[in-house]
Structure 1
């Protein structure tokens, strides 16, 4: 049971939409339908509200030309940075997509479906972030999406520090619609196809029931770096701070110029100075772009089924089932390279053990009379590939109704995400050790290796994982009494939730068979109970106060308490002033606080590297959980104004400030390497002094403060029968984003640079649409501001990454009976992502490598 006081009082209730000039008339207000809007359990008219929300309707989705949820939500101005989609292929959650409001990461943005939680993805992003994979959610079943740009822990609990994205499905539907869309990026040859269906029957009022079914399918080709003209050669010497991107391999000892006597595979004879100006001599090298996937190939199917049954005049039963199946394929990487950093996993000690790369005396490839280490890429084993198969489900059932003056809703839900990752052409450690010892494998002349030898080295792996969540929710609300200024609204609720996660590694890793393993082992569960209440008090006809309190109890770390207060003041029919203050929290994720161990690979600039000091080098990270973690805490403040001088004009301006403490993370790997004396035993180097690995543990680190301004504009100009012009814009200005890079350090300003992840100060979306009875067309402009470079490992590295501007054009025609034709051009000007030498050419969190994409489609309505 809850160990703290049961809650009292209520929240900053519903959220404002555009206001009509005459909306203040009380008779007009009472005629409006009451709805529940994201951020509250109180039912209120759409015109009430104290917090900012952005609503994307099904019509808006259709006009955007977007084919899936991630692409649609990625363009939000509030999605300012530190968010990942399928371009993040070097991830334990490859093929997924999330959203990061306010640049605070996917873990601080809560995703809901119909106001209720769904399962997180089966594995963790960056070893610690649990998040909802947007790719698992349907698009055709969506009626609207509400984006609450304010902290909402007082209503929803953990993870809502930056805001909430509530995906709202159709409550009912009658009829049949189907459609197909095909698209192609002619610059790369990438094709995409989608199929959609929505069918429903029955009227809740007339028949006492409604049932509908939605289905959509999507297939998209894999896009490799070798397909993109400006990336495929890996030669960026003509760009500021750019160089020839080549991997040097196949040499003896630590000197790359002491190379093997003959070329093999894709290797080329290369002047070492073209790769590293500080070096000279000849080396063997290859182009890593030939082994890199930019966007995985995918095949996805989404299905949604919902039914409602009217039991009597005041009670309705409902149930819904969401299901998705997804498969993504990508190149994992080049064939394995044998080096001094070679490791395998020891399950007994839960540690990495070194594997020798030393040719013994007498080995056919050893020209010396002493044991000789080698650096060699096993090209004859072939490219390494990876595919992920993911199944997602959510079953929800409940009753809702009215008893007296009380509205109530009781529901239970189960949701899970199951992933199976398959990888091929990895290397068997035991076969490798035997062949190294016996001399049965030739590193210098792979043509001598028989098929049997190669097959003995090849290793295929399977990594399973799942995340589960079961919830029981109960809410109730009423108007307690009629005050002179209006009704006193009250709502309360209770939630019981069980979360569990089991992300395992492959049997090959557990037995120590896989060379250079990457693993993210997580096994934990917890129970959460919460009680919450909210109230809305109309002080005057023009002034209302609201508040909420929520108490959560977690079985692992303890308690969390989240209050919120808000005010809404409407001195004029056309003017609304609003503000709120609240406290929020993010519970430590299961990977952070439970039994978990992660081994991953990255790069740092090593000032002590014996071969290339002060240049980027590869490194192994060993990361473990911490059962003593405390939740991240936040204080949120928002202040805004909405001006609606006419029924067709709306302008809003909102300021936000979020302060977080107890941020959970690990110390900067770069800082650890530069200050090893502060972290004894955490940095491991080999006998030659090359950096091998860094050990890290999740800890509560520092504080983070961010602030900014959101602007929203909508203007409609009617030309009568000729149609109407619709202008819309949403822009965000990041004012500050301050956070230390290590425990106890001074705060670093990240706004407008890439010190804390790329965080441009400006991001905006503007659109101009023309609508008639038969035609609809929309031109959209997406702007991402430039930002400063903070990491410079070369003197000619540019000071800034330039801004990124793309345009989309979408049109539809309804002149044929029951048929709608659609066409769109994404990236109309074929804009290339801005050059960013710190991110392998461009920043995948901000830009898209695809060129101009043409899409055409047709939809047909049977009813």
Structure 2
């Protein structure tokens, strides 16, 4: 791997496929909006180039003179005529949304090139945030990108990514009421406060609507599964200028059926990769089958968890293998016979079943010529039913290690154990087993209710805006198929569960082994926002302006523990509770120093009731030496306050496999004690955590040499300090086995000693440590946007949009001498299912318009990665290939997962002014995703960047009717 030179990178970006989105623009007129809010009273639905320096359309004043209209652009609190700000902003218009073919905000936003490492997909059934989706700009995780609706904050998802990172769930933001979306690719804490480190996504909803619009869509995958039905309603009445009011409602419903892994080709339908040189975990020493496998064993001191196979004993099936398994008799590592069953393939989904519902309503009043007010209310629900790809396994490493569990030859009542075939010889049976009828699942239902009241106008020369928003979310989670250890122990020693004939067990017995786990989590955000702006004095380049604003908000989150007292096997433990108040004030001063030079200065002071104070300044400059050339740049400070999942009253528990050192394995004779090694990782909240701090720099050039061609190239650099991180688990494990002092704050709960070697140091069962403000991370790169729009004499129009992001560096310090480079690697691996940090992402969209017909082809590209991550303490050395073959060598040999290019084709035809038909073919060439055995969110593929590959060619037909 090597770092591309900048010149080569830019040339390369011109020839890769990259997202069809327009340059930043705002198409509406208002000068009384709150920061970052764009009013659409006179909005056009068309796309206008940001670099087009012609002013917005003018409107007559009271005396009949023409006045230029001003607009608000995300990242500024001052209305402006020139749509191009010192910060890079991308606008995704309603037209762009329609041409993309996407029906959800999540799919739309996660397709932009700036979304990278840490992005959260819907398709990871084992995620702690299953059923939710988040955007991660610049690869700085979902908690460093601020998501706004109409320039106002919304409540976080009641859960958290990886049990620690709070974010706004994109699934609760229906697309039907969206007018356009503005994406600020720059730090913006100077106006918006916390979380706006990597950028801001501002979802602008329609301010008014008249008429009725209905849409209906159906879609299906060529490979099978995923059938979808969608419908929207948009209806409104009242002309704001004539009637003094407008009322509209928007409704969106969607259902998506699941896609089963077994309907996809090898190797995406199994975890058995032995046929191509990989490993097969479907063996008794790793994963059991529903047919079970047993071998004679001995135990220590009557402890059924200490089973060790006898020297002459071999595996044998507990009952005959069924048609969905294979009898194996030639495995040297598992002598004897056993049933190998592809449980992961049989119980995995590459897309969970889901339902989405969204209702939005807005009533706007024109109080007088200079004052208007609106009230909006919304309610959304997103439901997901996700199979995790496994059955409840008797073998588990956390929190109680049951890999050595046996069926005792004598039950607690003194009878011979009918489940133990060796009971007559008074021998216990080491057992490997998966419980038929207990698939592991997570069912979630996330609700979001929001009420907003806003009034804006002009008073004494000041344009003002005041709003009150009330937002409450609640998330119900049901986890199924997790064994209760005490119930399992009782079933084994009392013989109440029939292992030989599982069909004889009642549903009550199954329920007693794995009772459903339920929790109800909530989050709240209530905010009062006040802002005002005023023109000041004339400067050589125009009139300067000042904006002032303030915000007071209340935040709260409560996530009750779903696995109290860690009673359930292999179930993550997460809990969080807290509330706080935040008060912030900000200013922005814009000075057109010269006709060609603009300076913009802003700053915000925030007081948090739990983590103290912060001030974030920002300076932006834009210089336009020529009509067709502009240079822009910014320097800013930002911050992110610790989430409630990282502060004092919180904890997050997960488990990870590891390999002990070769010397430790050899000292234990490579017995079963060291063959099944996993450790629990318990991160606990720390009340002394400090906010993360950031410093951001952008510098860009904007070119528009002709009316039909425009381009921009922006460099960015972000450095975070006091990064809130998990403890360094890998270092702690290495130190433990090396006999070194554990890192500060760590404690170890040891496992039982090895029965064969009771005097030797046991393996670690649970590592416990608090979250820490770990050193720093730094990333830099470039964004490229290129647009063309050509009209031919024959009436055909051609529009082309090329955009892409290349990351030069993404590195993080984990302590002295531990600076890890992550760009181009499947790293950081512990972050959001190991999606990795691809160097290049982008898309190229081409649209042909002829009369009533519009056709768009978009190609999206994500570069490949090396399956290496130094943040994982994988022995023998950190930075080894994350995927290995049975000999411990890299698998595949290159340790590389390839790039992925996806091509979508969408089209529409206006039958008349009332009816439009639409059609889309996603993944036009039916490409499979790159092979990625290291990813732990998908079955040998990476759902973070290649989900469309596993779905396959997908057809969608729709109709839109307007009245």
TM-score between the two structures when normalised by the length of structure 1? 0.91
The whole-number CA distance in structure 1 between the counterparts of 2:655 and 2:323 is 24
> C-alpha displacement at 1:203, in angstroms?
1.6
Structure number with higher strand proportion: 1
2:160 is the alignment partner of 1:124: yes
Asked if the contact 2:287–2:393 (Cα under 8 Å) also holds between the matched residues in 1, the reply is no
Equivalent residues of 1:549, 1:563 under 8 A apart: yes
- 1:407-426 Cα distance to aligned partner (Å, 9 max, x none): 01111111122111123344
Q: Could you tell me which residue of structure 2 aligns to residue 262 of structure 1?
A: 319
**Distance apart, 1:260 and its partner CA:** 5.3
Residue 767 of structure 1 is matched in structure 2 by: 845
Q: Which residue of 1 aligns with 2:797?
A: 724
Task: Tell me how large the CA RMSD over aligned residues is.
Answer: 3.0
Aligned partners of 1:11 and 1:548 also within 8 Å: no
1:648 alignment counterpart: 708
Q: What's the secondary structure of 1:107's corresponding residue?
A: helix
Question: 1:296 deviation in Å?
Answer: 1.4
Distance 1:354 1:533, change over 3 A: farther
Maintained 8 Å contact 1:85/1:96: yes
Q: 1:286 aligns with which of 341, 345, 349?
A: 341
1:540 paired with 2:594, answer: yes
**Is it true that 1:842 corresponds to 2:941 in the alignment?**
yes
Displacement of 1:465 after TM fit? Answer: 0.4
Checking the alignment, whether the CA contact within 8 Å between 1:12 and 1:51 is kept in structure 2 is no
Q: Tell me, yes or no, if structure 1 residue 754 matches structure 2 residue 826.
A: yes
Alignment check: 8 A CA contact 1:426 1:514 kept: yes
Shift of the 718–604 alpha-carbon distance from structure 1 to 2, 3 Å rule, reads: farther
1:550 is matched with which residue: 578, 582, 604?
604
Instruction: Say if 2:955 is the partner of 1:854.
Output: yes
- Over 3 Å counting, the alpha-carbon distance change for 1:342 and 1:481 in structure 2 is closer
User: Secondary structure in 2 aligned to 1:173?
Assistant: coil
Pair 1:670-2:727 in alignment: no
- 1:560-639 paired onto structure 2 within 5 Å: 560-607=614-661, 608=664, 610-611=670-671, 618-639=678-699
The equivalences for 1:167-566 within 5 A come to: 167-230=203-266, 231-237=268-274, 239=276, 247-249=286-288, 250-251=293-294, 253=307, 258-259=315-316, 261-263=318-320, 268=325, 271=328, 282-287=337-342, 288-339=344-395, 341=397, 343=399, 357-360=405-408, 362-363=410-411, 364=417, 365-366=419-420, 367=422, 372=428, 374-447=430-503, 449-450=505-506, 453-506=509-562, 509-510=563-564, 514-566=568-620
5+ residue gaps in structure 1? 1-9, 345-352
In 1, Cα distance between the equivalents of 2:676 and 2:175? 41
Q: Offset of 1:210 from its aligned partner?
A: 1.0
Give the secondary structure class of the aligned counterpart of 1:165.
strand
Tell whether the 8 Å contact from 1:265 to 1:380 is kept in structure 2 after alignment: no
Q: How far 1:163 moved relative to its partner?
A: 0.2
Match of 1:682 in 2: 748
Corresponding position of 1:78 = 114
Deviates more, 1:82-91 or 1:802-811: 82-91
Task: Provide the secondary structure at the position in 1 that maps to 2:436.
Answer: helix
Kindly state the Cα deviation for residue 356 of structure 1 after the two structures are TM-superposed.
9.8
Q: Do the aligned residues in 1 keep the contact of 2:622 with 2:633 (CA within 8 Å)? A: yes
**What is the SS of the residue equivalent to 2:492?**
helix
Whether the 8 Å contact between 1:764 and 1:783 is mirrored in structure 2 is: yes
Going from structure 1 to structure 2, the CA distance change for 1:778 and 1:338 (only over 3 Å counts) comes to same
Matches for 1:87-166 after TM superposition, within 5 Å: 87-166=123-202
Q: Secondary structure in 1 aligned to 2:706?
A: coil
Gaps of 5+ in 2: 1-33, 39-47, 296-306, 412-416, 755-761, 830-835, 869-879
Please say which of residues 718-727 and 118-127 is displaced more in the overlay.
718-727
Is the contact made by 1:222 and 1:296 (CA closer than 8 Å) also made in structure 2?
yes
| In structure 1, C-alpha distance between the alignment counterparts of 2:945 and 2:673, rounded to whole Å | 30
Query: In the aligned structure 2, how far is the partner of 1:52 from the partner of 1:360?
Result: 68
Q: Quote the Cα distance in structure 2 between the aligned partners of 1:545 and 1:400.
A: 27
* Cα pair 1:12 1:566 within 8 Å, conserved: no
Q: Secondary structure at the match of 1:44?
A: coil
Match of 1:350 in 2: none
Aligned to 2:808: 735
Quick one: structure 1 residues 210 and 257, their matched pair in 2 at CA, closer, same or farther if it must change by over 3 Å?
Answer: farther
CA shift, 1:273, in A, is: 7.2
* Correspondence 1:825 to 2:900: no
- For residues 266 and 672 of structure 1, what CA distance do their matches in structure 2 show? 45
Over 3 Å counting, the alpha-carbon distance change for 1:406 and 1:191 in structure 2 is: same
2:118 counterpart SS class: coil
Tell me what 1:6 maps to: none
Paired residue secondary structure (1:60) = helix
The CA deviation at 1:448 is 5.3
* Secondary structure at 2:619 match in 1: strand
Match of 1:715 among 767, 777, 788: 788
SS in 1 for 2:98: helix
Shift in Å at residue 213 of structure 1?
0.8
Does the Cα contact within 8 Å between 1:218 and 1:300 map onto a contact in 2?
yes
Q: 1-side partners of 2:204 and 2:520: how far apart?
A: 31
User: How far apart are the structure 2 equivalents of 1:307 and 1:720?
Assistant: 45
Instruction: Describe the SS at the equivalent of 1:188.
Output: coil
1:712-740 CA distance string (max 9 Å, x none)? 00001111452210011111111000113
Does structure 2 conserve the Cα–Cα contact (< 8 Å) formed by 1:20 and 1:574?
no
Describe the superposition over 1:522-560 as per-residue Cα deviations: whole angstroms up to 9, x where unpaired.
111111111110100111011011111111111111111
